[in-house]
């Protein structure tokens, strides 16, 4: 248990400090990506949107870590670990894109991480079916969020759009896997509360 806790603490630090390494190459946009020039306003808009996405991935790391620690099922531990590793790819891609856009991560990422970790612990303590249902609903909401960002990103910011599109594909797969693993649909009131919490995070991370 101690070794597991140390390992998860190390992962937390790497996520919050940006010391993560992708296992997959950064998704590539169209050939015009290298030549595309963004205006100052477009760079600012794209940077803010990618900062929000980066914060979302910080929260995903926290959720999956907490859920992995609370389940007693070795199968589900592996399920959460695989999803977390793909989310690490997302973190790495987004950090690279933020650098390219001269943008920074959210200053409140430690706060978002702590909150998401606490929520993951609560979901995990309520049982595996609820925990998986929470994961499935989270991924559905993230998918919708990413679709809105694809509409808002500058049309010729091919590099950012390629990253967000691959993230969307991965999140859909995570949600489907959680449902197939036995995830229970959450009550409407809980789903609405999750949406409200997400709006607070995304609207704040856009600026701070």
Q: Where are the domains of the chain?
A: 37-205
pLDDT confidence bin for 169, thresholds 50/70/90 = very high
Q: What mean pLDDT value characterizes the chain? A: 84
- CATH class of domain segment(s) 37-205: mainly alpha
99 pLDDT above the threshold of 80? yes
Instruction: Please state the pTM of the whole predicted model.
Output: 0.85
Most confidently modeled range among 22-31, 64-73, 129-138: 129-138
pLDDT confidence bin for 65, thresholds 50/70/90 = confident
pLDDT single digits (tens) 116-159: 889 888 988 899 999 999 889 999 999 999 999 999 999 889 88
pLDDT single digits (tens) 78-95: 888 888 888 888 988 999
Residue pair 127/156 in contact (Cβ under 8 Å)? The answer is: no
| Selected residue with higher pLDDT from 9 and 97 | 97
CB atoms within 10 A of CB 10: 11
| Pick from 145, 143, 127: nearest CA to 183 | 127
| Selected residue with higher pLDDT from 148 and 35 | 148
pLDDT confidence bin for 42, thresholds 50/70/90 = very high
Tell me which long-range contacts 24-32 makes (C-beta under 8 A, separation of at least 24): 24/89, 26/92, 26/93, 26/96, 26/162, 26/163, 27/93, 27/162, 27/163, 27/165, 27/166, 28/159, 28/162, 29/158, 29/159, 29/160, 29/161, 29/162, 30/158, 32/156, 32/158
pLDDT confidence bin for 2, thresholds 50/70/90 = very low
């Amino acid at each position: 248990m101690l070794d597991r806790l140390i390992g998860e603490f190390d992962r937390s630090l790497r996520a919050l400090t940006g010391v993560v390494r992708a296992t997959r190459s950064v998704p590539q946009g169209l050939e015009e990506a290298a030549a595309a020039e963004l205006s100052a306003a477009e760079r600012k808009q794209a940077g803010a949107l990618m900062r929000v996405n980066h914060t979302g991935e910080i929260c995903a790391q926290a959720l999956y870590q907490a859920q992995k620690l609370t389940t007693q099922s070795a199968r589900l531990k592996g399920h959460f670990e695989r999803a977390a590793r793909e989310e690490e790819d997302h973190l790495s891609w987004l950090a690279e894109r933020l650098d390219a856009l001269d943008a920074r991560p959210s200053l409140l990422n430690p706060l978002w991480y702590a909150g998401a970790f606490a929520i993951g612990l609560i979901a995990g303590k309520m049982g595996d079916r609820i925990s998986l249902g929470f994961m499935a609903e989270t991924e559905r909401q993230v998918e919708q969020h990413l679709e809105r960002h694809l509409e808002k990103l500058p049309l010729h910011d091919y590099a950012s759009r390629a990253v967000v599109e691959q993230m969307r594909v991965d999140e859909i797969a995570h949600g489907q896997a959680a449902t197939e693993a036995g995830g229970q649909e959450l009550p409407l009131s809980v789903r609405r509360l999750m949406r409200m919490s997400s709006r607070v995070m995304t609207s704040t991370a856009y600026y701070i």
